[in-house]
Amino acid sequence: MGKGLILLLLLCAATLTAHAQDARTYIPAGAHQYAPLLAAQQGIVWPQMPEPWTLGGLVEQESCVTLTSRRCWDPRAELRTSREYGFGFGQITTAYRADGSVRFNKFQELVAAHPNLRDWAWEDRYNPKYQLTAIIDMCLGLWRRIPPAATVDDHLAFMLSSYNGGVSGLLQDRVLCSHTSGCDSGRWFGNVAGTSLKSKLPQPAYGEQSWFSINRTYVKNVMVIRRGKYRVFWSN
């Protein structure tokens, strides 16, 4: 085989590999197992959700360090730092103060707030059905708390920003936008996305990203890059 042909084959293989892991098109292996369950639970908990495949992008953003990592779309995905512990598809988080005391425990809050999670025990926290139900419950609750947005996509973007960084912070960002010349507080991209009270100081535990950049990248990754490919699981 000639060197030119070998080089061409290697380039083709590299291109195919790169395309296979393109976040816009590559569906992780775990999603094929669990995305149908996510779609089924969404149909029960929030049947009127617009563009529900956004939830698929959220799970990928939360659980996948890379698209082929072992814990991508895995209910046993975990994140541990000195200040927080998160688990599962949605990284349900317990946050700690500097002295080690609990600042908030999202698992306990969810179990207390939602009747369909009341029987969810900590020892069973890796249960995929409960985890996916919890994500939908959280998103629905955030959706309802957010004032009207200019479009459905803007409302979804506000919901995702709140999921990642808290609804109070999102509402503050919208107020800041409303007092900023040329900023439409009902729109995310190009508007609220650029105005925030979140810290812009690098965070060593998070790859030197700031809380502001983490939150804005989160929304972009889910809305623009990840969610579209999951529409297939809602095609029936």
Confidence label for 132 from pLDDT (cuts 50, 70 and 90): very high
Q: Is it the case that residue 208 has pLDDT exceeding 90?
A: no
Q: Are 128 and 37 in contact (CB under 8 A)?
A: yes
pLDDT in tens, 157-194: 999 999 999 999 999 999 999 999 999 999 999 999 99
Q: Are 172 and 179 in contact (CB under 8 A)?
A: no
Give start and end residues of each alpha helix (H) in the chain. 3-20, 29-45, 54-63, 106-113, 128-145, 152-165, 167-178, 211-220
- Alpha carbon 173 to its chain's center: 19
The DSSP code for 230 is G
Q: Is it the case that residue 19 has pLDDT exceeding 50?
A: no
- Which structural domains are found in the chain, ordered by start? 27-234 (1.10.530.10)
- Give pTM, 2 decimals: 0.88
Q: How far apart are CA 208 and CA 202, in angstroms?
A: 4
